[in-house]
Chains A and B, each alone.
Chain A
Amino acid sequence: MSDLPAAEVPAAEAPMSETPAAEGPTLEEPASEVPAPGREQIVVLDVVVGVSALAAATAAGVGRRARRVVRPAVGLMLRPPLVPRRYRADTLLSGLAQYGLSRRPELRRQLAARLAPVLPEIVAVILEPLDLTEIVKNSVDLDEVVAGVDLDKAVERLDLNKVLVRLDIPGLAEGVIAEVDLAEIIRQSTGSVASETVRGVRMQSIAGDEAIGRAVGRIRLRLGRKVPATEP
């Protein structure tokens, strides 16, 4: 037993009744008398895991020692000398293994058929507390997934008429025509010298109107300032 592997036993932790004080204990209840339930469960779980690991390591060590001792006897039992091959135990066992391998797909199908009614419920119970969206976001490379999608085929399956119905086609057309200034293009391509002249005269007249309007405004302003000065 001295050859047993030294399992790593975690150092003894502080008794569970002594939990570290929470920040700023309130006047109502000191933090040391109310341990967080979540932390206690984790400590218990750690203890169980530690005991199990220790037991498994011990069992593995014992198994290795026992195998060394038992192996010759087992070999003799499976392949006894002077016994024809077809009557040996290892031949029988090999045959049974082959039979099991051939039956495995059928057994898998039967098991799946039996589990099918209850499997969705089991999966739902397991998945309910999980946030699958966060798990997928954090664990799945969505860019790589999308890169593998054949978008051409996806577009082929689209009904473009339904997409077009959702668009405001007249509004879009108006916007394009306004941006392109189609009216100006038509004017330039079909306009005559006379129409260009008229357009020029109109714009010059508008400029003249504004100039006169400003001049009259200034004169009025000056007249308005002069009036108080002339009053007694």
Chain B
Amino acid sequence: MEGISAVPKEARGYQGRPAGLITRAVAALVDTIVVVVLLLVGYLGVNGALFLIDPRGFHFTEASPLPIVTTALLAMFLYLFAAWSITGRTYGCHVMGLRVIGHRGRRPGVVVALLRSLLYCLFPIGLVLCAGGRNHRSLQDFMVRTSVIYDWQPRQFD
């Protein structure tokens, strides 16, 4: 007789198994939207502060593409690093019921999270490699020895 589980019956068979491309891509899309929203909020915040300082001389700041991309990548890096090193999950992972684990099955360490975040920011297409294989590992997973599994349990820390 199985014990009590908060996971729906139809999902219990997948709990703990490596996640595939579609789920991870949707999670990545959600994370991207989160970072974009954060950047927009930051942009509006900065311009709001400038308006408060000098209402008469205010105009929206404009920047060339390079600083924008750099800022976006930096924001993405910090967001991924903080999420993976603290909880092993980004907001996108929470929504899609995923969790990143290290080679010992636990939350990735600080160094691993840092490297993983850097690799994803610089080479996001490496995610496509997780479409095949028994363990559904991306290029970044192979390099830092991590995995992404289905985890519908809502707990925060392991």
Contact = CB atoms under 8 A, between A and B. Distances in A.
Given A210-B20, A212-B20, A213-B20, A205 B4 contact: no
Q: Is the interface of B mostly helix, strand, loop or mixed?
A: loop
Interface string B1-39: 111111111110010000111110010000000000000
Interface in B132-152: 132-133, 136, 150, 152
A209 B136 contact: yes
B23 A175 contact: no
B3 A205 contact: no
Report the interface size class on chain B. 20 to 34
B4 A213 contact: no
Interface string A172-211: 0011011101111001000000000011011101101110
A183 to B, nearest CB: 5
Interface in B65-103: 95-97
A217 B132 contact: yes
Which residue, A175, A181, A210, A212, has most C-beta atoms of chain B within 10 A?
Answer: A212
Given A203-B10, A206-B150, A213-B131, 6 more contacts: A183-B4, A183-B7, A205-B26, A206-B11, A209-B136, A213-B136
Interface of B: 1-11, 14, 19-23, 26, 95-97, 131-133, 136, 150, 152
